[in-house]
Amino acid sequence: MIRIANNDDLLTLSRYARIVASELHASGVNQWSKTYPDYPDFEKDLLRDALFVIELEGQVVGSISVLPENDPYYRLLAWKGYKALVVHRLMVLPEYRRHKLGTTLFNFAIDKAKYEGYDSIKVDTHPDNIRMQNLILSVGFKEVGYMPGFNRIGYEIKF
């Protein structure tokens, strides 16, 4: 089940982000850090009604932030859409991977964007994050290009 996050979820998500960041670094992906993302990042998303959690058997096991586009680095690429939402900070606890929860979260974002009248969704990931790249491509995104300003590859799905 996916639901909008609440204040009670913020500490849990901060803790999960440290687990995921540690795992990324252990596998050679320098995408997140010891301080990003953390409570303030999730809180900002929550205050914008843009933070969602996925639960299994009543336990939060992952999250996604879905926000209107506002990243200056995104202006460097030739996107297809004109009115886009952007996925940020998607994470699933390692022990719940391979349950299609990442796919479920992306599909939720796609449905949300379509329902709200957006014409595309954008997402980025670190060039070394092959697992996320595979997930992004598996749900229908296309690679748009590299953003050297913050070392990310941008992807888009156009409706």
* Structural tokens at position 39: 């409570």
Check: CB of residue 93 under 8 Å from CB of residue 62: yes
Q: Domains of the chain, with CATH numbers?
A: 2-158 (3.40.630.30)
Beta strands 84-92 and 120-125: pairing type? parallel
> pLDDT grade, residue 71 (50/70/90)?
confident
Check: CB of residue 102 under 8 Å from CB of residue 61: no
Q: Is the pLDDT of residue 73 over 90?
A: no
Angstrom distance (rounded) from CA 99 to CA 93? 11
Mind listing the pLDDT tens digit for each residue in 76-94?
Answer: 899 999 899 999 999 999 9
Mind listing the pLDDT tens digit for each residue in 122-148?
Answer: 999 999 999 999 999 999 999 999 999
* Structural tokens at position 110: 């796609």
The amino acid at residue 146 is Y
Q: Is the pLDDT of residue 98 over 90?
A: no
Mind listing the pLDDT tens digit for each residue in 22-65?
Answer: 999 999 998 999 899 999 999 999 999 999 999 999 999 999 99
Say what the pLDDT of residue 29 is: 93
